[in-house]
Amino acid sequence: MTGTSSPDGMPGVYETPPPAYGYPAPYGPRLGQPTVKNSVNGLSVALSVLLGLDALFTVGSTIGLIWRRSLLTALRDHPETVHRSSVDASDTLVRAADGLLSLTMLGSIVVFMCWFWAARSNAEAYVPGEGRMSVGWSIGGWFIPLANLVIPCIVARDVYRGTMFGRQDKRQMSGGLITGWWWASYVVSWALMLRVSSASSDARDAENNGFSYLEAMLKLTDAGLVALPVLAVSAVLTICYVQTISKVQRQRNAAGDWYDGPGSRTVPGLPPMHPGYGYGHGAFAPRGYPMAGPPPMMNAPMPGPAGDAMAGPPPTMTAPMPGPAGGATGGAAPDPWAAPMQDAVPQQYQPPAAETQTAETISDDPFAAPEHLTPPS
């Protein structure tokens, strides 16, 4: 550790204390994390109005079909009792109601997709990365044949779970009963409208045959009388789903209650939560598990005292005491200025001298007799 020493020259003592040791700066928001969409407020109002008009025009079309069916039945059984003007009036009522219903349904589809995308984006902001389908599927899932009966439902459940995350009065992993009822009514009405479309095609094919055309129109009317009430119920359940989601999202957005938001779960029905920073310490992780903080700094150097805390001359260092000389019980008194025994240079070890060996003389004559075989003189 570096720094400016004190005027007395003591190392490690600072005139100004070094910066305090603590936790690092909090992490920033997660890259790619979506922001909340306050547009759900206005979109939910517009969508509820359009869906209400859908239900109203559906009821009007149903009334016209009931009138038409009574006239067609009378025309089949007692043709002389039915006036042509009555049949034309019933057809006019049905066509007008169907035309208005088509316009409001087209507007409902466009506004609903905008609201659905905004609601799914908010759910992602509340609980990042917990949805089974990404935000883009809130729009793209409607344009895949047959799969559009499944993918939007999965996204709708993700919207409900993300929006209701943390509420004590809701099941955390549930997609919501309102979601199931709404989607079931939508699928049933979609299947019934396919039947209406098929009956309408048969009626056009039999238009030039009087009696066959009459029977085909009766079948078309019966199919419409079954499909339109279910369609009206589906519109009402859609309003309930939209308002359920929008109400909670409006509260959470107003309180800043999203992941890494400025709020701290102050919405009624939500548990208290301290605001965090992205995925850093102090944040509340998805599924309700708090994120662990950074590890404590181990063996961090401690700063020296500041100011005049160490004023005056440096303290005198005491020299180490020498060990006793000449044994513990006798000998000369120890010299206080003598070097301590542990500092004395030990005597070098001298290995013993090697024994002198006499080299044995070897004769160069290969025919010479060995010395031990030479007879004594």
pLDDT mean over 259-281: 46
Least confident of 148-152, 282-286, 303-307, 354-358: 282-286
Instruction: Tell me the C-alpha distance between 165 and 154, whole Å.
Output: 16
Q: Indicate if the pLDDT at residue 286 is higher than 50.
A: no
Give residue 119's pLDDT band: very low, low, confident or very high (50, 70, 90). Answer: very high
Contact (Cβ atoms closer than 8 angstroms) between residue 134 and residue 56: no
Token pair 């089974």 is at which residue? 132
Least confident of 163-172, 249-258, 337-346: 337-346
Contact (Cβ atoms closer than 8 angstroms) between residue 186 and residue 234: yes
- End-to-end, the C-alpha distance of the chain in Å comes to 92
Inter-axis angle of helices 210-254 and 40-77, to 10 degrees?
Answer: 160
Contact (Cβ atoms closer than 8 angstroms) between residue 57 and residue 231: no
Q: Which amino acid is at 299?
A: N
Q: 3-class DSSP state for residue 14? A: strand
69: nearest Cα among 93, 98, 99: 93
Give residue 291's pLDDT band: very low, low, confident or very high (50, 70, 90). Answer: very low
Helix (H) or strand (E) holding 31: none
Domain ranges of the chain: 40-266
Give residue 257's pLDDT band: very low, low, confident or very high (50, 70, 90). Answer: low
Give residue 165's pLDDT band: very low, low, confident or very high (50, 70, 90). Answer: confident
Question: In this predicted model, which residue has the larger pLDDT, 12 or 59?
Answer: 59
pLDDT tens, position by position, 62-80: 999 999 999 999 998 888 8
Question: In this predicted model, which residue has the larger pLDDT, 18 or 279?
Answer: 18
Question: In this predicted model, which residue has the larger pLDDT, 114 or 372?
Answer: 114
Q: Which amino acid is at 199?
A: A
Question: In this predicted model, which residue has the larger pLDDT, 247 or 347?
Answer: 247
Average predicted confidence (pLDDT) for the chain: 75
131: nearest Cα among 6, 259, 8: 259
pLDDT tens, position by position, 178-205: 999 999 999 999 999 999 999 999 999 9
